[in-house]
Structure 1
């Protein structure tokens, strides 16, 4: 599934791929793990940088109090053609890499 990362990317603006706004520690290692996870899920994207920014956007939404379901619905709304299942895979990979504190919610 090809993802355009529509509005989800706009949420966090043009943060550089190496930025670590979620405080996850090893940013490059987190990015590599995240990219590997979404690739393993069969998700594709226009660029790695856009995927990373969108991954951080997932955590920004969670940090702002949005539920996991709300985040997944937002991803599907912002990326027409993205299934709930694929959005869930993307959100889970982003949470695991960038904001694992939200995995228990």
Structure 2
């Protein structure tokens, strides 16, 4: 299920935000990962993304999200493990792998 998808981000509470298009990672039908160099967010979508869907709209002011900076682009450990490992791992396995010394 892991694949890249286009996201159109808006912010209903900030009309000046406009629309920002970005490539994100679809981790599951209802989970989208947005990554930057040193930060990352997981968005929990209200409705699942269809298998053939190429774009999803996300309102930053209303969509549930979890800040998960350990999934940012600058985390080489995630690159080594891969996203398939991530979605198959238990929470405890993830915590053990990403615990900082």
Q: State if a TM-score over 0.5 links the two structures.
A: no
For the pair shown, the structure with the greater C-alpha radius of gyration is 2
Question: Which protein, 1 or 2, shows the higher relative CO under an 8 Å CA cutoff with sep ≥ 6?
Answer: 1
TM-score by length of 1: 0.23
Relative to total residues, which structure has the larger helix share, 1 or 2? 1
Relative to total residues, which structure has the larger strand share, 1 or 2? 2
